[in-house]
Amino acid sequence: MRLSASDLACVRSGREVFAGLGFSVAAGEALVVLGRNGAGKSSLLRMIAGLVRVAAGQLALDGGDPELTLPEQAHYVGHQDAIKPALTVQENLEFWAQYLAGPAPAETAPVAALEAFALSHLAGLPAAYLSAGQKRRLSLARIVAVKRPVWLLDEPTSALDARAQERLSQLMQAHLAGGGIILAATHAPIGLTGAKELRLGEPV
């Protein structure tokens, strides 16, 4: 499997964010997207996720499921945690598992995902009562609840303490070891040793 882009361009509100962008990431590899604020890191991830229109160029996932689009084979975790405050922690995760139509049974996948992010003891608590770090862990838990080969993570360690960051690093390494692909936009190290780098907003 390989995710690639060629001559990719992004235009937002009439402004060219980036153009002529190219990269290639194979199964088992990670690409860390770096750059100043406004360089287009989030826009790039959202474009791959199908949330931002491709102004020019091409995106392709070779070796994926031919019956599914690229966005249908990718997890996107953005700045917003996308959590319903009135639902419990487990209900939030069950919603995502059903909405994303994961292959694992909905009644077991959320339980395993909560355990992966040390949230099991909070399963019955309304999400409104979670701390910022707990909300982030709940948002990230859907990448475990539903299996998808491509992970698009925007500042994934935001609000996470050292223990949660270490756990996320372990999960990312396991995803890569299983042939997955990760693209992560970040300003700080996130535990992806040996990852490729793509710098936006800088001369080539």
Q: How many structural domains comprise the chain?
A: 1
> What tokens does 162 get?
């050292």
Percent of the chain topping pLDDT 90: 77
> What tokens does 44 get?
């790039």
Q: pTM for the full model?
A: 0.93
Q: What are phi and psi of 194, to 5 degrees?
A: 80, 10
> What tokens does 144 get?
């475990």
Mean pLDDT within 2-10: 97
How does residue 49 score in pLDDT terms, banded at 50, 70 and 90?
very high
What does the DSSP assignment read for 32-78? EEEESTTSSHHHHHHHHTTSS---EEEEEEETS-TTS-TGGGEEEE-
Q: Does residue 27 surpass a pLDDT of 60?
A: yes
d(CA 138, CA 42): 20
Q: SS3 for 181? A: strand
Residue range(s) defining the domain that contains residue 53: 2-63+70-200
Mean pLDDT within 8-35: 95
* Tens of pLDDT, residues 151-168: 999 999 999 999 999 999
Q: Does residue 204 surpass a pLDDT of 50?
A: no
d(CA 78, CA 113): 18
Q: How many CB atoms lie within 10 A of CB 131?
A: 10
* Tens of pLDDT, residues 56-85: 999 999 999 999 999 999 999 998 888 999
Q: What are phi and psi of 175, to 5 degrees?
A: -65, -45
155: domain CATH number? 3.40.50.300
* Tens of pLDDT, residues 115-144: 999 999 999 999 999 999 999 999 999 999
